Chain A
């Protein structure tokens, strides 16, 4: 296969950090090349060098054998390197067709030729196997289609190399399948595709070749069939993979008095028929597909929405008119699904983000002394191994996994009775994932209770003491003990008999 894009010996430093230390990376025509690594391994920096967001310090880039320089994202696109990001970087207010052609619309003397724009967009979408009304505003489509539109935009400029940066994070199973079909189609047309993801299954489903980065260095570069899964994981995290398997929760039912009890709890239009109990030392998993009512259940428990039928009992008392303030007063904490939007206060420091719940609990007029704050923050930075330049670094500068640890620490500092974790491991790297599950297990043993929502079934099964299975906005069953296996949960989600 012909080498399409070669990066040789790339160096890139930021103040205080050497992000890339002599990385080489080659994409061939007609291959899907997975770029793997934990957060902070240098993946994003490498992608940004490739796509012109960052300029490299030293090293060279060759496109089809010729050395090139990439000055800006625009420049990268015009040379044939297009990128589709995790967050769809298109504009929701314009039509899908415009989003595909924006900036290079066919134009004549009378201005933009809308008919041609529409036809071009339809052609590009058809190449991905999609037939949609391209005149509708982009924002009215599902994230999956929006992502496809971003890819279609790359096709419209005849991209040679397509970089997909975590494209599947917000897609459900079917949508991922649809995306992979499109990727395979493009691959067979001779395009070189760089695929960045955290999902191992997906890497093995669609890639031909894997490059692994760790701490700004190449640590692996092999065809997919020569790199077994376990070896890949141990390359990524730099430790022996067999140690990871040991963190499995005992499946014996936990003996504890429950302090939360729901009876047919529901909220019209969002979720129905939720029945469970939670006691200290329990981790209740909510398993189900995206949109099955998992987040909605968490919202009910935390009082963001209040249940309008059935019953929620806290400490034996009926909690009608449950509100967030009451939830917090009952000792509940929430790590929300959307970390960026609902979790972190991006411009505040790690210290401020971490102590805010404690401060709120104490009362806003009784300020936590600075020395007390520093002490608490240091304890959590050490015990959760939060990687930050200093406690005063703005949290937005931390990697996703470390941000999540700060959010966890924010609640742990207040020592909650029940912590609601909605997708706590989304978009964070494998190492941090395991650290977070180990932390949950440790705290559980000390008597804390958790509700754990995750799209990764393996993770739910591994960390939870019992699992409530959700399907189509209803709770369809509760699994405990040995029953709580991946196969069983899967068959219930799929609609097999409960």
Chain B
């Protein structure tokens, strides 16, 4: 029985080990890598990726996919900037508007996927193009935000010892992360997401509200990516319709490296957090090195993804073997 326990947890254990190994290896090689400030930078610099990944985790747990999140970050980013800067909307109102926009667009994805039984891949691919196009239509140029309230918002931080601090984007990331973990583990919505990923028609026959849940899953992902767009504007103090290009793929990579099965049902929000950390650490380590070009990040991520896929396949195969034995 203990063996099954470990087998179940194997992906997340593997992810944790890789995470620690990279951290320790980079820390031994590069001076200053172990500092709190560097660690906090992982969170700050990747807050938008992390927030997106939390939303995408739910989508993938349910067996779906959301490709629109990257262009959503660009679209909501430029929207926020234009609403504040050109339309003179109060930043709070502007942010609320784009969050609602993200929620509704996600809802739209969910409705199409649910009501017309369309494949999530194509529906959100259409969303990807629409959101990117809409963003560029709003403004091709990057728009600088200059508003006292917005600057104040961007300046919020929690001071920590040794001169380190946790800025607003990292705080938001951690809040979303904790909320995501609780949502997945402790609520009926979260458990229904897992059930849908495990076997959708069973979930339906068990009397779970599969339809409603699926719509909410995409709405949640839309909301998270819109929030990520806002965080990105806070982080850069500007909006750019082209930001977040390819972010959907980073988010999927983080989720899969974090131990979530692309076919749904297995995985965790915390795993995705570790996945984001791993991506962040690889990037930082390559920056620390200085001699390697940034494309090495991609090579490292690609290799890691391959290894994790093979690992998951191995677990799947051995799980099938044990269940077959149990069946006999």
Contacts and interface: CB of A to CB of B under 8 A. Distances in A.
A73 B4 contact: no
A111 interface: yes
B157 interface: no
Given A91-B195, A91-B198, A136-B1, A112 B186 contact: yes
B326 interface: yes
B23 interface: no
A423 B208 CA distance: 34
A112 B189 CA distance: 11
B206 A90 contact: yes
Interface stretch (A98-106, A238-246, A444-452): A98-106
A93 B182 contact: no
Interface stretch (A34-42, A139-147, A216-224, A396-404): A139-147
A111 B185 contact: yes
B188 A103 contact: yes
B323 interface: yes
A111 B186 contact: yes
Nearest to A107: B188
A98 B191 contact: yes
A340 to B, nearest CB: 13
B328 A112 contact: no
Interface in A140-171: 140-143, 153
Nearest to B207: A74
Nearest to B194: A94
A91 B205 contact: no
B186 A103 contact: no
A290 B328 CA distance: 7
Contacts of A291: 327-328
A98 to B, nearest CB: 6
B201 interface: yes
Contacts of A263: none
Interface residues of B, number: 32
Interface in A282-305: 290-291
Contact of B207 (A103, A107, A141): A103
Residue from A91, A102, A105 having most chain B Cβ neighbours under 10 A:
A91
Contacts of A153: 206
Given A91-B198, A140-B4, A103 B192 contact: yes
Given A74-B207, A112-B191, A137 B327 contact: no
A383 interface: no
Contact of B194 (A91, A136, A139): A91
A90 B182 CA distance: 23
A71 B87 CA distance: 50
Contacts of A141: 326
A73 B210 CA distance: 12
Interface in B1-52: 1, 4, 8
A112 B202 contact: no
B208 A102 contact: yes
A158 to B, nearest CB: 14
Interface string A179-212: 0000000000000000000000000000000000
A346 to B, nearest CB: 14
A102 B196 CA distance: 12
B229 interface: no
A111 B194 contact: no
B186 A91 contact: no
A89 B205 CA distance: 7
B191 A73 contact: no
Contacts of B191: 94, 98, 102, 105, 112
A69 B155 CA distance: 60
Question: 7 smallest A-B Cβ distances: which pairs?
Answer: A111-B186, A91-B198, A291-B328, A93-B265, A93-B198, A74-B207, A89-B202
10 contacts: A90-B206, A92-B199, A93-B197, A99-B206, A102-B191, A102-B206, A111-B182, A112-B185, A133-B1, A140-B4
Interface of B: 1, 4, 8, 182, 185-188, 191-192, 194-195, 197-199, 201-209, 265-266, 319, 322-323, 326-328
